[in-house]
Amino acid sequence: MKIKASKIVALWAAPRCVSNAFEKTFSQRHDTEIVHEPFGNVYYYSKSRRSNRCGDYEEMQDFDSNSAIEAIASKVAPLTFVKDMAFYPLPYIDKDFKDFLASITNTFIVRHPQEVMASWYRLNEYPTEEEFGFRGLLQMWKIVTEELNQKPIVVEGNSFRRNPEKVLHHYCQQIGVDFYPQMLSWEDARLTQGQFRNPESYAKWRKTLNNSSGILPPTEVKEEIRSEDVDIVDRALKVYENLCQFAV
């Protein structure tokens, strides 16, 4: 498959890790096209979907991993910025997907798993360990850094929220693009709806971002983790600590 864009950068995330806000900063660039969670359409809507969480969407029944890659590769902007959950494409990995990963710049964003789980609770949602996303982050991390031997580029979510200009400067330097001050603010906070095909879900999952005009500082999170989720959070903490060693 011929890649048309001069540079493709992927940001691999787990849910509730501030990835939408980070994506929003790149949507403010004049030289960038955004592809929002293309592999989520495979994971939630295709014939081979792994979850029924988001309901049915008939138009996506035949969407597959190659369709997601084509949606990315067909962009013609100087920079294509892809934000997706690391666990979405993992059930569908094949040689074409790994060849695609090898042809782009892969980066990661993480947040402390206790805060991530608390964020799920506030939405009245309770993820499976797969959907919690840290196991997928680790798998994708190993593919990118060990199999493909790419350098680790990581954003820590709260560090980004405390010092967005500093973190974005360093991130842009790492991926080989210029930082632009306009990345730090916006008038319209909405993103492409991605895998959420109804306004209610969109508003629920993106409430904080939708009410923003820039990156908001982190707030103190106090939430007791349910006993059934303690082991999930503990395992995720090891992933978080491993990746944070490389945070920009």
pLDDT of residue 195: 45
CA 148 to mean position of chain CA atoms: 20
pLDDT of residue 3: 46
Q: Bridge-partner residues for 11, per DSSP?
A: 83, 107
- Whether the per-residue pLDDT at 100 is higher than 70: the answer is yes
Could you give the CA distance from residue 99 to residue 3 in angstroms, rounded to a whole number? 12
Angle between helices 113-122 and 230-244 (to 10 degrees): 130
Helix (H, G, I), strand (E, B) or coil at 105: strand
Angle between helices 134-142 and 230-244 (to 10 degrees): 40
**Per-residue pLDDT tens digits for 112-164:** 999 999 999 988 889 999 999 999 999 999 999 999 999 999 999 999 999 99
222 — pLDDT class (breaks 50, 70, 90): confident
**215 burial level (CB within 10 Å; 0-12, 13-18, 19+):** buried
241 — pLDDT class (breaks 50, 70, 90): very high
Q: Which residues contact 59 (CB under 8 A, 6 or more apart)?
A: none
- Whether the per-residue pLDDT at 35 is higher than 80: the answer is yes
**Per-residue pLDDT tens digits for 179-207:** 999 999 988 655 654 445 555 655 555 55
